[in-house]
Amino acid sequence: MDPLLTGQDQAMLRGEGSEAQALAMRVLVSMARATGARRMIDISGAHIDGTLYLGRASLDFATRLRDGGGRVAVPTTLNVSSLDLLHPDLFRGDEATRSDALTMMTAYLDMGASPTWTCAPYQLADRPGFGDRVAWGESNAIVFANSVLGARTPRFGDFADMAAAVTGRAPEFGLYLDRHRRASVRIDVSGIAKEARLTDEFFAVLGFLTGIEAGSEVPAVTGIESATEDQLKLLGAGAATSGAVGMVHVVGITPEAPTLASATGGIAPRLVKVTPDVITRAYKALSSTDAETIHTVNLGTPHYSTRQIVRLQDLLAGRRIHPDVKLYVNTGRDVLASSSEIVKRLEERGVVFVVDTCTYVTSILPAGPDVAMTDSAKWAYYAPGNLGVDVVFGSTSDCVESAVAGRVIREEQPW
């Protein structure tokens, strides 16, 4: 069934705006047909995931839009790219890739998007509010927008997010609609010791587990008494990695889940009870090796917040990173600028800050069959496939202890 189009939508489709808008509207209408959307709606902002150079196709799309007169119709932020423009020497890839990646980044700026280059746009000063309808790419950002901010965005893929940005329109499907925001699976963690439930690593592992259990359903987590935004970020990023999850209710914490009944709409959800055994298995599954020597430590996937950088400073106080280990912190250029004093002190201790990109998506780590350590379930999940490295997952504190010692040190898990 074709979606209902306004006169303006039809005009864009006929090419009365720009060629770019016509292409974008064709993509959106096809998407509407595929998802069964009945109409198109206005969006108030977009976040573009297509900024990472994934080969010629991503460049071809960006330049086709730009050369076809594409301009963003709504405020638009940009996700991580393949290059750190503030620290260009970190890039170890080939010149052709560097050049194509830069051309593509420029195309998005030419179309009027903001050079934010971050996978955590919810850490920027301007972020969507409750009920705002936006078109966001980047799987972790989508979960955060829906779950924590109460904004609305389905899981937009590359291309679709930019198609929405240049038209200001989106097919009304998925998480835009109340009925798709209701939880159908309940992940209960009340069987886990309270002190464990307060740790960051618990949220990261729980996220990974939640994605596996929920698949493409909306989960509601019960048994959490408190959570910081950073912890909710880790939960969402993990869930959006192992599952097709676009929203995670945390009952008593996130805005659309004051109670379990409000999260589910009153329908009895499928129950998954998380036991210490289940968490331990998930924790172990995030490491691909039991090697003892590590070569790199990678923090900040999604991009570290100011609070996380402060915590790193506390953990590293009075200590130095082992000469055979490189410790990278991935963060946004906005966070870097607002934490410049701490960043300077951490750099003196040997920390390497990476902005605009992330160490698991581009050639930054030293070449070789190395072992990498991370506090991110998302980094742990993707890096072996992306980079060919082996990975050890641990808490932030484990990562710092290991970086100082030059070998893997992991405390006994609290669950």
DSSP SS3 for 369: coil
Which residues contact other proteins by CB under 8 A? 23, 26-27, 30-31, 33-36, 49-50, 52, 54-58, 60-61, 64, 137-139, 142, 154-161, 173-174, 211, 215-216, 240-244, 285, 288, 381-382, 384-386
Nearer to other proteins, 224 or 377 (CB): 377
CB 107 within 8 A of CB 63: yes
Task: Tell me how far, at minimum, the Cβ of 321 lies from other proteins, in Å.
Answer: 28
* Omega within 30 of 0 (cis) for the link into 302: yes
**Phi and psi dihedrals of 61, rounded to 5?**
-65, -45
The distance of Cα 255 from the centroid of its chain, to the nearest Å, equals 20
**Phi and psi dihedrals of 133, rounded to 5?**
-100, 120
Round to whole Å and give the CA distance between 98 and 94.
6
Task: Tell me how far, at minimum, the Cβ of 45 lies from other proteins, in Å.
Answer: 16
Task: Tell me how far, at minimum, the Cβ of 154 lies from other proteins, in Å.
Answer: 7
**Phi and psi dihedrals of 187, rounded to 5?**
-105, 110
DSSP SS3 for 24: helix
Nearest to 166 by CA among 251, 294, 288, 48: 48
Round to whole Å and give the CA distance between 2 and 5.
9
**Termini Cα distance of the chain:** 50
Task: Tell me how far, at minimum, the Cβ of 36 lies from other proteins, in Å.
Answer: 8
Task: Tell me how far, at minimum, the Cβ of 233 lies from other proteins, in Å.
Answer: 16
Nearer to other proteins, 154 or 223 (CB): 154
Nearer to other proteins, 243 or 332 (CB): 243
SS3 content of the chain, % helix, strand, coil (to 5): 45, 15, 40
Nearer to other proteins, 245 or 297 (CB): 245
Nearer to other proteins, 53 or 328 (CB): 53
The residues, ordered by sequence, that sit 6+ positions from 353 with a Cβ below 8 Å of its Cβ are 87, 328, 329, 331, 336, 343, 346, 347
Nearer to other proteins, 35 or 259 (CB): 35
Task: Tell me how far, at minimum, the Cβ of 275 lies from other proteins, in Å.
Answer: 21
Task: Tell me how far, at minimum, the Cβ of 354 lies from other proteins, in Å.
Answer: 18
Nearer to other proteins, 255 or 384 (CB): 384
Name the token pair of 206: 């729980």
